[in-house]
A and B are shown apart, each in its own frame.
Chain A
Amino acid sequence: MGIIKKFLNDFKSSFYLGWKIESNWTDPLLFFIYSLAKPLSSAFILIFMYMIISQGQMNEMLPHLIIGNALHLYTANVLFGMAWTVIDDREFYETLKYIYISPVSMFQFLAGRGFAKYLITTISSFIIIIFGFIFLNVRFTPIASWYIYFPIFLFVGSISLFIIGYFFAGINFLISRQGSFLTQSAAGVFLLLTGAIFPIDTFPGFLGKVGIYIPQTIWIDGMRKILLGDGWNSFFINMSINRMLSMLIIENIIYFIIIFLFFNFSLKIARQRGLIDQRTMG
């Protein structure tokens, strides 16, 4: 079988699996309602909390929050979802070792699983954004040529989700279920540092700067710029969308190289230490 054909085949079956796991636990109608209700209710809770904290300054921050929250779903579901797949398949489904000893590569397997999560998250995320524009008075004031920038930025940012996802997946190959609080905390840290809720320059000192080294920060703020126009960004306020795009691409390339090496390294360590089929005792 040709390399490309094999890649597609492996990708297809893990995507199929991911799709089934994400969507097949209930009938299609219920799944559809759930896909609508879950993101909307979580968005409402967040907006409500924010209203209390900001005491009426809501209007000003609402668009920032809607886009941030919608795109953070990708970080939570796809990026960290890929990492969780390692622990779930290893210890809950007990299938990881069988997949590992099959000819499929872990890289492709996780790509397929992640892509299923990606498609489902896209439904939720777009629902929140469209809902915001229609019902919450968020004004759609995009930058010029937004229809070109939007798909490009969406695509490049989606790639970074997978790249960083491999990083946390690599970590989860090395730690047990008990250690998984690490990834859970990382998800919380990402929520803050990527500026999904609070603008990153509201953080003191270097904390605000850390965010710019996370691709998701640039991605979320870039999407804000594309959809809402200039003026909605904090750190990137004076930066052109082209510049942001180049930053994102450069980060992607650098992280891809580092994380590709790291991922293979952690698989090797896991095989050395017998962690591929580890089961957390008790």
Chain B
Amino acid sequence: MDDSISIKTENLGRIYKKEGGVLEALKNININVNRGEIFGLLGPNGAGKTTLIKILTTLLLPSSGKAYVLGYDVETETLKIREKINMVSGGEWAGYGILTVRENLWMFSQFYGIPTKKAKREIDKYLEIFGLEEDANTKISKLSTGMRQKMNIIRGILSNPEVLFLDEPTLGLDVQIARTVRSFIKVWMKEKEGRTILLTTHYLNEADELCNRIAIIDNGEIHALDTPQGLKKILKNKIMYSVELERESYLNLKELPYTTKFTVNPLKDGKIEVKFQIQDENKIVDIFNYLKNNGFNLVSFRKREPTLEDVFIEIVGKEFKEDE
């Protein structure tokens, strides 16, 4: 296999037996992830993202098709793969509460055969990067969600994997910690050539910021695969607007004439952002007048660039739920 490709699937499928039939969690997935790439999987709940990660990390067998990681078959060459990958899933406990942060990390490093001295040095380095050095000797049952998640990210990178699988790594983290995690991911990718990350996230901005390429997946199928810029080009003929309203006046807004893909998004300062597309730019005056005449309190009214969220709505046909 081509050495520049780190993950490859061929008509990969996975079914789960359910009462009264089967559920096709993945259908004929064909992807090639290049070395050196952060590859994103975006999709609504139940799309099959975690299922794909489980297959690639040798946790789950495929039902049909093939999958290769670093050229090795996930079904039969598991040990070869396991030596070179690692995984971190968000929103998990994942650790021995009775051990300290340092002990937990050391133990996992041993499963990868890292010499103790080197492991200790690396652990200290990463604890410092993540601002956990003060808690190195704290039992992990006493950690907060954010600290625990940082520890798990360190666990994932400690083995110096060639391919790292991140399943919603910033799930449930506050803005500050999520930012630390994101910037670390970028630094980590630059630190050594040839590393690959496969990432799933529910935060579209995160995918936009981090990923070289993104696959949009829904119902077990890939609906689009491109760079974030490339995906946004799908919408190059759409006209998009964003309107900010005071909260009270939003409550009366049931519909907006001439618009499609109408979504609402509460903002931090109590205002409401309404986004929509229009087919005919000439109608914008009518929309503006409609809002004015019906007593809506307009804070702003502007044309905007398409975001990944718009692409997502366009492709998946439903709004993206950022579940927290």
Interface string of A1-38 (1 = CB under 8 A from B): 10000100110110011001100110000000000000
Chain B residue, CB-CB nearest to A276: B59
A-B contacts, 19 of them at CB < 8 A, read A10-B111, A13-B107, A20-B96, A20-B103, A21-B96, A93-B93, A93-B94, A93-B95, A94-B94, A94-B95, A100-B59, A101-B87, A102-B111, A103-B111, A103-B112, A104-B111, A274-B54, A276-B60, A277-B54
Chain A residue, CB-CB nearest to B85: A101
B residues near A (Cβ < 8 Å) are 16, 54, 57-61, 79, 82-83, 85-87, 92-99, 103, 107-108, 110-113, 155, 159
**Shortest Cβ distance from residue B171 to the other chain A in the assembled complex, whole angstroms:** 14
Chain B residue, CB-CB nearest to A101: B57
Residues of A258-273 at the interface with B, using a CB-CB cut-off of 8 Å, are 271-272
* Alpha-carbon distance A274/B97, docked complex (angstroms): 25
Chain B residue, CB-CB nearest to A12: B110
* Alpha-carbon distance A93/B60, docked complex (angstroms): 20
Partner of B94, one of A16, A98, A104: A98
With known contacts A98-B155, A271-B59, A17–B96 Cβ distance under 8 A: yes
**Shortest Cβ distance from residue B158 to the other chain A in the assembled complex, whole angstroms:** 11
Q: Is the interface of B mostly helix, strand, loop or mixed?
A: loop
A residues near B (Cβ < 8 Å) are 1, 6, 9-10, 12-13, 16-17, 20-21, 24-25, 93-95, 97-104, 271-272, 274, 276-277
Name the B residues within 8 Å of A100 (CB-CB). Answer: 58-59
**Shortest Cβ distance from residue B15 to the other chain A in the assembled complex, whole angstroms:** 11
Name the B residues within 8 Å of A24 (CB-CB). Answer: 98-99
* Alpha-carbon distance A188/B93, docked complex (angstroms): 32
* Alpha-carbon distance A100/B99, docked complex (angstroms): 19
Chain A residue, CB-CB nearest to B25: A274
With known contacts A93-B94, A101-B85, A103-B82, A20–B111 Cβ distance under 8 A: no
Name the B residues within 8 Å of A276 (CB-CB). Answer: 59-60
**Shortest Cβ distance from residue B49 to the other chain A in the assembled complex, whole angstroms:** 14
Name the A residues within 8 Å of B108 (CB-CB). Answer: 98, 102
Most buried by B among A94, A95, A99, A101: A101
User: Once the chains bind, are A101 and B58 in contact (CB under 8 Å)?
Assistant: yes
User: Once the chains bind, are A101 and B82 in contact (CB under 8 Å)?
Assistant: yes
With known contacts A6-B113, A13-B111, A24-B98, A101–B59 Cβ distance under 8 A: yes
Name the A residues within 8 Å of B60 (CB-CB). Answer: 271-272, 274, 276
**Shortest Cβ distance from residue B93 to the other chain A in the assembled complex, whole angstroms:** 5
* Alpha-carbon distance A241/B112, docked complex (angstroms): 44
* Alpha-carbon distance A271/B82, docked complex (angstroms): 15
**Shortest Cβ distance from residue B212 to the other chain A in the assembled complex, whole angstroms:** 24
User: Once the chains bind, are A25 and B112 in contact (CB under 8 Å)?
Assistant: no
User: Once the chains bind, are A93 and B96 in contact (CB under 8 Å)?
Assistant: yes
Chain B residue, CB-CB nearest to A108: B111
**Shortest Cβ distance from residue A222 to the other chain B in the assembled complex, whole angstroms:** 36
With known contacts A1-B113, A16-B107, A99-B111, A271–B155 Cβ distance under 8 A: no
* Alpha-carbon distance A104/B87, docked complex (angstroms): 15
User: Once the chains bind, are B61 and A271 in contact (CB under 8 Å)?
Assistant: yes
User: Once the chains bind, are B58 and A9 in contact (CB under 8 Å)?
Assistant: no
Known: A93-B97, A95-B95. 11 other contacts (CB 8 A): A10-B111, A17-B96, A21-B98, A24-B98, A25-B98, A93-B95, A98-B87, A99-B111, A102-B82, A102-B112, A103-B82
Name the B residues within 8 Å of A98 (CB-CB). Answer: 87, 94, 108, 155
With known contacts A93-B93, A95-B96, A274–B16 Cβ distance under 8 A: yes
* Alpha-carbon distance A24/B139, docked complex (angstroms): 11
Name the B residues within 8 Å of A13 (CB-CB). Answer: 107, 110-111
* Alpha-carbon distance A16/B166, docked complex (angstroms): 28
User: Once the chains bind, are A94 and B113 in contact (CB under 8 Å)?
Assistant: no
Name the A residues within 8 Å of B82 (CB-CB). Answer: 101-103
Chain B residue, CB-CB nearest to A17: B107
**Shortest Cβ distance from residue A89 to the other chain B in the assembled complex, whole angstroms:** 9
Name the A residues within 8 Å of B159 (CB-CB). Answer: 102
* Alpha-carbon distance A24/B54, docked complex (angstroms): 33
* Alpha-carbon distance A99/B99, docked complex (angstroms): 16
Name the B residues within 8 Å of A95 (CB-CB). Answer: 94-96
Name the B residues within 8 Å of A271 (CB-CB). Answer: 58-61
* Alpha-carbon distance A26/B83, docked complex (angstroms): 35
Partner of B93, one of A16, A94, A103: A94
**Shortest Cβ distance from residue B23 to the other chain A in the assembled complex, whole angstroms:** 12
Task: Kindly list the 10 A-B residue pairs having the minimum CB-CB distance in the complex, ordered from nearest.
Answer: A13-B110, A102-B111, A104-B111, A94-B94, A103-B82, A272-B61, A103-B83, A94-B93, A101-B57, A274-B60
**Shortest Cβ distance from residue A77 to the other chain B in the assembled complex, whole angstroms:** 17
Name the B residues within 8 Å of A274 (CB-CB). Answer: 16, 54, 59-60
**Shortest Cβ distance from residue B98 to the other chain A in the assembled complex, whole angstroms:** 5
Name the B residues within 8 Å of A99 (CB-CB). Answer: 111
Name the B residues within 8 Å of A272 (CB-CB). Answer: 60-61
* Alpha-carbon distance A160/B110, docked complex (angstroms): 28
User: Once the chains bind, are B113 and A20 in contact (CB under 8 Å)?
Assistant: no
* Alpha-carbon distance A220/B85, docked complex (angstroms): 45
